[in-house]
């Protein structure tokens, strides 16, 4: 019997995942440096634009790329919360456990800042919406978000380990109710309740 | 009389903003290329890590950087929705208009994808949470999100112009109620209602 199962793609240490991890560093380092640093930013811009140009020149046709994105494990590789191919994603790794919950731990840095030194409320919403969706997959009945309510109980700290949890509460016909929370040092910072409808948009083929 | 006012930082075409714009391109191009492209990703990773290393070596002290971030116009330069210094931000530019609403237009690409070809529900939540906050600033009474409810009415398309709106509805003592929406081609995709409490975390000094 498996006590826990990875529900999100585990980043490779090579290939596109390593390039994306480096891009994630660039995003954070640009914010960390800011406009007042001694770095010649025009040179940085030129280097980064050259990388983007090179990638664009070798990209597959858009239709094909969309099919590949949505095939097999691809589904968890590119989203903005857990995706190892998406530099916007922290990324969060979520595990399904036997009691039906999903959970993960993440530390968020400057790109995710809202109030000074704390996580943006909308970033908490993004993480929880996604986690509720993964909890639905883990429970076996999933769908699209119809309604999501976030309650902000205390500011969520940057630079500290956050525990993210989600669990499906009820399935009533096509309506699915799911909840989740972000806690820091054992204290609930944000909680979420979601209503999902059991339907999915078609995957590109 | 001013009919409209920019409420978010206007990106410069040079300096750190240009470097961040290029980083935004890299994030999108990595997703666009994916793991199956002919690009030598180890080389891309090395180039991007070298950029991050260079930026980190020249970054100011963290305490000083936090003070700078939160001084004057800095406040709207680094957030993950409108910030020209944050490559996670699309960025969205919001304008305050005389009737008390704020509005902006944005096109979202692959980094913001949830369902196939559509915007991630959590990204819509992120954008609306932030827009409601800006609407509160524009109305003159602002605070921190206490509760946020999103209603998803139809899938929000990627790659098409989205109109983002927000307006303060009511101020009752320290309680502020605000609403907003994302529309595409005149149709409401997501609407939001927020309850904010008139308090702010201290700025670093």
The residues near B194 (Cβ < 8 Å, ≥ 6 apart) are B128, B129, B132, B145, B147, B148, B149, B177, B178, B179, B180
Task: Please give the mean pLDDT across all residues of chain B.
Answer: 94
Residue A36 backbone dihedrals phi, psi, to 5 degrees:
-90, 0
Structural domain for B165, as ranges: 4-197
Q: How far is CA A192 from the centre of its chain?
A: 16
Residue A205 covered by a domain: no
- Percent of chain B at pLDDT > 90 equals 85
Dihedral angle sign, alpha carbons of residues B4, B5, B9, B12:
positive
pLDDT of residue A2: 52
Closest residue of chain A to B48, computed from CA coordinates: A22
Residue A203 covered by a domain: no
Q: Would you say B48 and A74 are in contact if contact means Cβ atoms under 8 Å apart? A: no
Using a CB–CB cutoff of 8 Å, tell me whether B67 touches chain A. no
- Concatenated DSSP letters of B98-124: TTSEEEEEE---GGGB-STTBB-HHHH
Rg (CA), chain B: 19
pLDDT of residue B12: 84
Mean pLDDT in residue range A91-99: 94
Residue A204 covered by a domain: no
User: Is B201 in contact with A117 (Cβ distance < 8 A)?
Assistant: yes
Return d(Cα B155, Cα B150) in angstroms, integer: 13
Chain B: closest CA distance from residue A74 (Å): 10
Lowest-confidence pick of A49-58, A109-118, B66-75, B179-188 = B66-75
Residue B205 covered by a domain: no
Q: How far apart are the first and last CA of chain B?
A: 35
Block residue for tokens 């008139």: B198
A37 vs B contacts (CB less than 8 Å):
16, 55, 58-60
User: Is A85 in contact with B118 (Cβ distance < 8 A)?
Assistant: no
B200 vs A contacts (CB less than 8 Å):
115
- Concatenated DSSP letters of B65-91: HHHHHTSGGGGGTSSTTT-TT-TTS--
Q: Would you say B181 and B117 are in contact if contact means Cβ atoms under 8 Å apart? A: no
Return d(Cα B183, Cα B164) in angstroms, integer: 7
Among candidates B181, B153, B152, which has minimal Cα distance to B166? B181
How confident is the model over B47-56, as pLDDT tens digits?
999 999 999 9
User: Is B148 in contact with A126 (Cβ distance < 8 A)?
Assistant: no
Instruction: Count structural domains, chain B.
Output: 1
User: Is B45 in contact with A19 (Cβ distance < 8 A)?
Assistant: yes
pLDDT of residue A138: 95
Mean pLDDT in residue range B21-42: 93
Residue B204 covered by a domain: no
Q: Would you say A85 and A17 are in contact if contact means Cβ atoms under 8 Å apart? A: yes
User: Is B86 in contact with A42 (Cβ distance < 8 A)?
Assistant: no
Is pTM beyond 0.90 here?
yes
B202 vs A contacts (CB less than 8 Å):
116
Task: List the 103-132 stretch of B: residues with Cβ below 8 A of A.
Answer: 110-118, 120-123, 125-130
pLDDT of residue B167: 98
pLDDT of residue A1: 41
pLDDT of residue B3: 64
Domain CATH for A151: 3.10.129.10
Work out the pLDDT band at A170, boundaries 50, 70, 90: very high
Residue A109 covered by a domain: yes
Work out the pLDDT band at B190, boundaries 50, 70, 90: very high
Residue B185 covered by a domain: yes
B130 vs A contacts (CB less than 8 Å):
120, 122
How confident is the model over A119-134, as pLDDT tens digits?
999 999 999 999 999 9
Using a CB–CB cutoff of 8 Å, tell me whether B26 touches chain A. yes
Which residue in A44, A127, A203 is closest to B51 by CB distance?
A: A44
Return d(Cα B61, Cα B22) in angstroms, integer: 25
So what's the ipTM on this one?
0.96
Three-state SS at B16: helix
A82 vs B contacts (CB less than 8 Å):
none
Using a CB–CB cutoff of 8 Å, tell me whether B10 touches chain A. no
Work out the pLDDT band at B36, boundaries 50, 70, 90: confident
Q: According to DSSP H, which parts of chain A are helical?
A: 15-33, 41-57, 62-69, 121-139
């Amino acid at each position: 019997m498996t006590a826990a199962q990875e529900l999100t793609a585990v980043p490779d240490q090579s290939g596109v995942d390593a390039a994306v991890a480096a891009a994630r560093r660039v995003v954070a380092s640009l914010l960390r440096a800011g406009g007042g640093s001694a770095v010649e930013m025009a040179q940085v811009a030129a280097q980064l634009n050259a990388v983007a140009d090179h990638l664009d020149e070798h990209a597959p046709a858009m239709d094909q790329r969309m099919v590949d994105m949505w095939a097999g494990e691809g589904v968890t590789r590119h989203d903005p919360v857990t995706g190892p191919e998406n530099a916007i994603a922290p990324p969060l790794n979520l595990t399904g456990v036997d009691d039906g919950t999903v959970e993960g731990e993440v530390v968020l840095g400057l790109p995710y800042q809202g109030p000074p030194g704390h996580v943006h409320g909308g970033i908490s919403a993004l993480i929880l919406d996604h986690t509720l969706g993964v909890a639905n997959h883990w429970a076996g009945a999933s769908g699209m978000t119809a309604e999501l309510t976030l309650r902000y109980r205390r500011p969520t700290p940057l630079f500290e380990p956050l525990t993210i949890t989600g669990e499906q509460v009820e399935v009533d016909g096509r309506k699915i109710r799911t909840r989740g929370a972000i806690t820091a040092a054992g204290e609930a910072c944000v909680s979420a309740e979601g209503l999902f409808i059991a339907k999915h948009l078609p995957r590109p083929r």
